[in-house]
């Protein structure tokens, strides 16, 4: 018998958060979506608003929030360089003060709380693939530090709340994720390449194109997050969630050009500061502790993503509004 749980999702109107809201509602759980709509979009959750078990609250988690809930997914924080570098001080506040506020809430109401951490805690890694035991190679004072170090500090807080207050925590280190509902102007590599290919613009690769990333389809990721939340108190993480398939930026660009049927040319630009050269998750722990592995091949996931962006672009009168900015890509 399904035991109903009231679930709070911060950043619930965001790219990943909206899928999480959808999945947990489908499972019969009341869901409270909290979002300040900096990068979250009402369109992402519009189809859920008629559900009487769904509640939306406009709120910034750098301010305290009070609710009676059983589980908390702390997804709130801009995750693309364009957005987290727009207001780096606020990004750090969201990661650190937001974590304190959600941990405090979890402590008061005895809720499970999951932190959406990131592969960025590994920085520009000297270990490949990255295991959870690797401590990382992160610049603490660079332009990406607001996000990288903010997430690292949030992990510290989660484990200190567990040690000091016995809070039931979960920490997921999320690797590059893609799919429909990504913002077209967020500066991430998949959205950049897809939008440029659909418009026939030159595809911009930063560096020589040999740097690698691993791309996980959003629905696979959400399945991993829910599995992690469902584990007992002994399983805290951090646990890597991502697709171990590794692709260079050049391989990704060529695949997207082929799938779109685009005439876009590839152009090269200087590599941004602190951009990681390699990124690939070791998901051994996810397989052993969660029984989880991604199932969506990159071409299949890209096909769905391309269809989404194609429909989005056709619905916009002024395509310049979604031109990907020249910025760091994840």
Q: Which residues are marked as active site? A: 147
Through-space distance between the first and last CA atoms of the chain, rounded to whole angstroms:
41
Which residue is listed with tokens 């519009």?
A: 46
Of 19, 48, 22, 38, which Cα lies nearest the Cα of 93? 38
Interacting residues of 141 by C-beta distance below 8 A, sequence separation 6+:
none
Of 85, 84, 327, which Cα lies nearest the Cα of 206? 327
Which residue is listed with tokens 């395509």?
A: 319
DSSP string of 69-118, one letter each residue: -SEEEE--S--SHHHHTTSHHHHHHHHHHHHHHHHHHHHHHT-EEEEEEE
- Spatial contact of 82 and 144, defined as CB atoms under 8 Å apart: no
DSSP string of 174-213, one letter each residue: E--EE-TT--TTS--HHHHHHHHHHHTPPEEEETTS--EE
* Chain mean position to CA 246: 18
Interacting residues of 314 by C-beta distance below 8 A, sequence separation 6+:
none
Of 45, 329, 15, 13, which Cα lies nearest the Cα of 178? 15
Peptide bond into 100 cis (omega under 30): no
Residue 173, classed as helix, strand or coil, is strand
**H helix count then E strand count, the chain:** 10, 13
């Amino acid at each position: 018998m399904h035991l109903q749980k009231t679930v709070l999702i911060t950043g619930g109107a965001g790219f990943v958060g909206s899928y999480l809201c959808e999945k947990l509602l489908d499972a019969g759980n009341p869901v409270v979506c909290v979002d300040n709509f900096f990068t979250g979009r009402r369109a992402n959750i519009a189809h859920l608003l008629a559900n009487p078990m769904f509640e939306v609250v406009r709120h910034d988690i750098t301010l305290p929030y009070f609710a009676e809930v059983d589980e908390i997914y702390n997804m709130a924080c801009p995750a693309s360089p364009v957005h987290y570098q727009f207001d780096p001080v606020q990004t750090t506040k969201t990661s650190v003060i937001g974590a304190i506020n959600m941990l405090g809430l979890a402590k008061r109401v005895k809720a499970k709380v999951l932190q959406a951490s990131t592969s960025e805690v590994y920085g520009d890694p000297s270990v490949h693939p990255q295991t959870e035991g690797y401590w990382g190679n992160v610049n603490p004072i660079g332009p990406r530090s607001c996000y990288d170090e903010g997430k690292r500090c949030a992990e510290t807080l989660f484990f200190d709340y567990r040690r000091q207050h016995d809070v039931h925590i979960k920490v997921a280190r999320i690797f590059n994720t893609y799919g429909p509902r990504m913002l077209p102007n967020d500066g991430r590599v998949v959205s950049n390449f897809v939008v440029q290919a659909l418009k026939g613009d030159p595809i911009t690769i930063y560096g020589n194109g040999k740097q690698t990333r691993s791309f996980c389809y959003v629905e696979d990721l959400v399945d991993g997050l829910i599995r992690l939340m469902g584990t007992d108190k002994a399983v805290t993480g951090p646990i890597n969630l991502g697709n171990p398939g590794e692709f260079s930026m050049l391989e990704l660009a060529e695949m997207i050009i082929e799938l779109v049927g685009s005439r876009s040319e590839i152009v090269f630009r200087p590599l941004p500061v602190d951009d990681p050269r390699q990124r690939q998750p070791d998901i051994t722990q996810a397989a052993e502790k969660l029984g989880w592995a991604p199932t969506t091949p990159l071409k299949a996931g890209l096909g769905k993503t391309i269809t989404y962006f194609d429909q989005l672009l056709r619905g916009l009168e002024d395509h310049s509004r979604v031109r990907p900015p020249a910025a760091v890509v994840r």
